[in-house]
Structure 1
């Protein structure tokens, strides 16, 4: 077990790409966009001369976070990782962190919908070593082809958008959409997007097939847009926003319907993201209800903490 070094980048990315629970968010090109904000302490676990797991992580004093800059982190591994080997891997990780002076491990587990196949042996191994769940966020996801249908009001919204003449197209004009998104976030939450325009354009340059923007157009005017991240079995909604006219004409209902019928046709899940704040303690019921009206139902995002004594 050793720390990640820059010369490991190609091998790291290849391993993540072939893993059973990693997504492009764990690719070093994605992680590096905010590397100046985090003290990287990612780990590589090897069996013989082959990588058997990697851990995206950063250090904050005596706590290792996996990962502070990612929605989910945790150990990434492939089909060769048995339950027994995972228990041994976590034991070795704990011993290494203890020797390196860490007192705590904060672990953001990867929700099951992002797994290519069942891959939760890391949770068992952590709990066996004394980890406890310290945070639970609630997300909402549509099981493609298996979830409840759109509510009556959402179906009416799609019809209203079509009658208004809106058309959905894929776009690369992130600048125009970021203007709409930023205005809405300031009005609603006095906040800014997680990614700046420069950052999202940089990331889109690295991952043009994974980071995609879809807009509802009235002629040449954008009335609303959705940025999605293609995470293997999951299409994840990263940003949604409309103009006032777009909200009246149900632009987001139309875009969501379009995505489910086209982009998501060969996917398993369409994830809207979390509806919780204050460390998962407060549920935004109205937001969750809106997602449920599209047929989405609850998926939890767990975080664990392990004391290293």
Structure 2
């Protein structure tokens, strides 16, 4: 097993491998890294070859003597084909040899949640645990399994309170939902939502627009308007052919009586089913005010569950040599 540090010339090969892989997402593409300013991260992206065949890629960065994956993205870790346990073992051991050669003595990686894996297996995660990795923490993410829905009557698959709220939203003819690029209206709503929790969005408005430029077919903004007043929106990423992620969900509290987020979820689920996606990841629901990174936000979890979501782990593993 040979390991190569990727260069700009490898972008096409790398990104095509990720698209054909068993667990790759938009966050693992080298193209995704391009929205970051050059000076922000010391990217250290690795390509694994077995008998001259590319069998894995690993996006990441070096922070002194620590390898961190991902860098400036939601998910990282090893991206592989539908490989067997023996190949997974060779990949992990080769990476450890590489780390020792380069003086890397600490590793931290965040895995994709299970629904993102095309052909379900946990070979690579088992191999990492077998070779001394430990779970550092888990985040709770809410995933909607679209095969549980009756596409002819989506609303009946919601909990009663969500059903009532969606039906209520349809009683307001002045309420409309559309897909557009109205970031000038959306970003202030997002900022206002985050400020309630003394947070700021992960992305600036300019960074969001840069990502849309890089991925015009894979990043979508769903907006809800009351007449011509923007009152809510959901920013969506097509992560891979199976999963879409609602990266940001934001609304104006003063218009809550119109139930715009319930309406948006309904429309997004309908759209996702018609576009043959299997899952919608509604994102993590953590209590950001807590010192414990694993403490969930019960109200947020319950709201997502009312739209028939189930909980999955977004796990981060670490190892010290």
- TM-score after normalising by structure 2: 0.91
Shift of 1:144: 0.7
On the 8 A contact 1:20/1:78 being kept in 2, the answer is: yes
Query: 1:14-93 to 2 correspondence within 5 Å?
Result: 14-34=16-36, 35-79=38-82, 81-93=83-95
Give, in whole Å, the separation in 1 of the partners of 2:264 and 2:183. 16
Give, in whole Å, the separation in 2 of the partners of 1:227 and 1:139. 16
1:251 lines up with 2:260 in the alignment: yes
What is the aligned partner in structure 1 of residue 161 from structure 2? 153
On the 8 A contact 2:43/2:71 being kept in 1, the answer is: no
After the TM superposition, which of the residue ranges 213-222 and 50-59 deviates more from structure 2?
213-222
Shift of 1:270: 1.1
Corresponding pairs, count: 306
Structure 2 gaps, min length 5 = 150-155
Cα distance change, pair 11–122 in 1 and its aligned pair in 2 (3 A): same
Shift of 1:47: 1.8
Query: 1:242-281 to 2 correspondence within 5 Å?
Result: 242-265=251-274, 266-276=276-286, 277=288, 278=291, 280-281=293-294
Shift of 1:297: 1.4
On the 8 A contact 2:220/2:237 being kept in 1, the answer is: yes
1:174 lines up with 2:183 in the alignment: yes
What is the aligned partner in structure 1 of residue 302 from structure 2? 289
Give, in whole Å, the separation in 2 of the partners of 1:171 and 1:224. 13
Cα distance change, pair 111–279 in 1 and its aligned pair in 2 (3 A): farther
1:194 lines up with 2:202 in the alignment: yes
Q: 1:23-43: CA deviations, max 9, x gaps?
A: 111111212222532111111
What is the aligned partner in structure 1 of residue 220 from structure 2? 212
Give, in whole Å, the separation in 2 of the partners of 1:271 and 1:264. 13
Give, in whole Å, the separation in 1 of the partners of 2:255 and 2:220. 20
Q: 1:231-255: CA deviations, max 9, x gaps?
A: 1211111111112343221001001
Q: CA RMSD in A?
A: 1.6
Q: 2:194 aligns with which of 185, 194, 199?
A: 185
Q: 1:228 aligns with which of 233, 236, 243?
A: 236
Shift of 1:221: 2.2
Query: 1:128-167 to 2 correspondence within 5 Å?
Result: 128-146=130-148, 149-165=157-173, 166-167=175-176
Q: 1:281-302: CA deviations, max 9, x gaps?
A: 3111111111111111111111
What is the aligned partner in structure 2 of residue 2 from structure 1? 4
On the 8 A contact 1:149/1:295 being kept in 2, the answer is: yes
On the 8 A contact 2:140/2:294 being kept in 1, the answer is: no
Q: 1:65-108: CA deviations, max 9, x gaps?
A: 111322110111113x2210110111010011011001111121
Shift of 1:119: 4.0
What is the aligned partner in structure 1 of residue 311 from structure 2? 298
What is the aligned partner in structure 2 of residue 307 from structure 1? 320
On the 8 A contact 1:135/1:279 being kept in 2, the answer is: no
Cα distance change, pair 137–244 in 1 and its aligned pair in 2 (3 A): closer
